Amino acid sequence: MLSERTISLVKSTIPLLSGAGTAVTAHFYQRMFSHNPELKNIFNMTNQHTGKQQFALFNAIAAYATHIDNPQVLEQAIGRINHKHVSLNIQAKHYDIVGHHLIETLKELAPEQFTPDIEQAWREAYGFLADLFITQEEGLYRTVEQQPGGWRDGREFVITELVKESENVMSFYLKPCDGRAITRYQAGQFIAISVNPAASENTQIRQYSLSQAPKHDHYRISVKREGLVSTHLHQLHVGDTVTLYPPAGDFVLQAAANDKVFISAGVGITPMMAMLEQALAIESSAQLAFIHACVDESQHSFKHPIEQLAAQHSNLCKEVWYEHSDSGDKTGRIELQHSALSLPYEHGEFYLCGPTAFMAAVKQQLLALGVAPDRILYEVFGPHESL
């Protein structure tokens, strides 16, 4: 455990960190990528340009400094980061690199305040957190590796089928090139894909939700064409290969018996498809509702599969909100108080996925309608932001 003195010294640097704002993380990343350019193959350099990941890491460091004497407060956040890291194949050796550049950054930016005592306290504190992360992440690596069909590090998969789901979303069916089994996953989890787009000098890794309930011989992801990697993926053909890291993620279905409402916008529908299929496959009397929002019919992914499922299962109801068209069930942005569905606000589980602003707005509506915060579960694509 960390000593009282270490804890109080680290806490004393919180004003230093908050005062410097994102300058600390900006400097940190610049330093790390110039000394260890190999890490550009792991980090999402597009996020670096927008400053999003810098913000996420800064938040994590500040939160850690604030709660250093009570790490349970961070348990849920750390669990989520562990899944992200494992999916990206982050290794123990990377923690030394990050720790080194973090300490050097603090030294360079605040040479006077960052005294040898404080430096030592930060080394201990970072080492403590890094050990915790490394241990938990090793546990996750082992768990998936030891499952039937499990693996560790990259594994080659071939694209066996491409299906256009809407104007900008394409589903990729992926089978392992070695012909061996694949590990099962929990609906809601994601998989990382590693590619080398011609337009980039680095390998690029991105995480995509698995968009079906688990199948025995393939994975399916459904990708919206919107950035460097997704544009590259949309140019691939059946027979092309990609590298996949094993499934990970802690946004998964909760108790089977509970009523569930899945609320998504745009390509946020992907983990919801997997969750809905899995929830329908479980023998349970749970009532299920699927609410989806998108711009219009041309952007509506999985329209027909959802209609078919609703026709086949009496415990499933659905509603569609089109922003710019009146051909859906509703027009405009989702307003749950105007939904025609009777939703289980008092006891149900609510799963959200879509743009952050969308999820924040829906969460506010749910809270106002009496849903307890611990029954609202959500997944953020890209660096995590609190709603």
Using CA atoms, how far apart are residues 97 and 221, in angstroms rounded to an integer?
A: 32
- Of residues 29, 64, 95, 173, which has the active-site annotation? 95
- Cβ proximity to ligand HEM: between 315 and 356 the closer is 356
Task: Report if residue 44 touches ligand HEM, rule: CB under 6 A.
Answer: yes
Nearest-approach distance from CB 234 to ligand HEM, in angstroms:
21
- Is the Cβ–Cβ distance between 225 and 231 less than 8 Å? yes
Specify whether 351 is catalytic.
no
Please state, as a whole number, how many other Cβ atoms lie within 10 Å of the Cβ of residue 203: 15
Nearest-approach distance from CB 132 to ligand HEM, in angstroms:
8
Classify each residue of 35-50 as buried b or exposed e, where b means 16 or more C-beta atoms within 10 Å of its C-beta.
eeeebbebbbbbebee
- Cβ proximity to ligand HEM: between 98 and 280 the closer is 98
Rg of the Cα atoms in the chain = 22
Specify whether 137 is catalytic.
yes
Task: Report if residue 106 touches ligand HEM, rule: CB under 6 A.
Answer: no
Using CA atoms, how far apart are residues 84 and 205, in angstroms rounded to an integer?
A: 12
- Cβ proximity to ligand HEM: between 322 and 381 the closer is 381
Using CA atoms, how far apart are residues 236 and 194, in angstroms rounded to an integer?
A: 13
Residue sitting closest to ligand HEM (CB) = 384
**Is residue 384 classed as helix, strand or coil in its secondary structure?**
coil
- Is the Cβ–Cβ distance between 252 and 217 less than 8 Å? no
Task: Report if residue 158 touches ligand HEM, rule: CB under 6 A.
Answer: no
- Is the Cβ–Cβ distance between 237 and 324 less than 8 Å? no
DSSP letter, residue 387: -
Task: Report if residue 271 touches ligand HEM, rule: CB under 6 A.
Answer: no
- Of residues 137, 165, 319, 379, which has the active-site annotation? 137
- Is the Cβ–Cβ distance between 133 and 153 less than 8 Å? no
* Binding flags for ligand HEM, 71-90, as an x/- string (CB under 6 A): ---------xx--xx--x-x
Q: Which stretch binds ligand HEM (CB under 6 A): 92-100, 111-119, 184-192, 261-269?
A: 92-100
Using CA atoms, how far apart are residues 128 and 130, in angstroms rounded to an integer?
A: 6
Nearest-approach distance from CB 87 to ligand HEM, in angstroms:
9
Using CA atoms, how far apart are residues 268 and 271, in angstroms rounded to an integer?
A: 7
- The identity of residue 321, as a single letter, is W
Task: Report if residue 57 touches ligand HEM, rule: CB under 6 A.
Answer: yes
Among 65, 106, 121, 129, binds ligand HEM (CB under 6 A): 129
Task: Report if residue 27 touches ligand HEM, rule: CB under 6 A.
Answer: no
Task: Report if residue 39 touches ligand HEM, rule: CB under 6 A.
Answer: yes
Task: Report if residue 192 touches ligand HEM, rule: CB under 6 A.
Answer: no
Among 95, 185, 245, 351, binds ligand HEM (CB under 6 A): 95
Q: Which residues, 6 or more positions from 229, have their beta carbon under 8 angstroms from its beta carbon?
A: 193, 195, 197, 204, 206
Using CA atoms, how far apart are residues 366 and 343, in angstroms rounded to an integer?
A: 10
Burial environment of residue 70 by CB neighbours within 10 A (0 to 12, 13 to 18, 19 or more):
exposed
Q: Which stretch binds ligand HEM (CB under 6 A): 104-112, 125-133, 259-267, 335-343?
A: 125-133
Number of residues counted as binding ligand HEM (CB under 6 A): 23
Q: Which stretch binds ligand HEM (CB under 6 A): 37-45, 115-123, 240-248, 336-344?
A: 37-45
- Cβ proximity to ligand HEM: between 85 and 292 the closer is 85
Task: Report if residue 220 touches ligand HEM, rule: CB under 6 A.
Answer: no
Task: Report if residue 191 touches ligand HEM, rule: CB under 6 A.
Answer: no
Among 9, 10, 24, 56, binds ligand HEM (CB under 6 A): 56
CA distances (Å), origin 290, targets 187, 263, 354, 381: 15, 6, 14, 19
Task: Report if residue 101 touches ligand HEM, rule: CB under 6 A.
Answer: no
Q: Which residues, 6 or more positions from 213, have their beta carbon under 8 angstroms from its beta carbon?
A: 187, 274, 277, 278, 281
Nearest-approach distance from CB 1 to ligand HEM, in angstroms:
17
DSSP letter, residue 36: -
Among 2, 23, 60, 310, binds ligand HEM (CB under 6 A): 60
Binding region for ligand HEM (CB under 6 A):
39, 42-44, 47, 53, 56-57, 60, 80-81, 84-85, 88, 90, 94-95, 98, 129-130, 133, 383-384
Q: Which residues are catalytic?
A: 95, 137
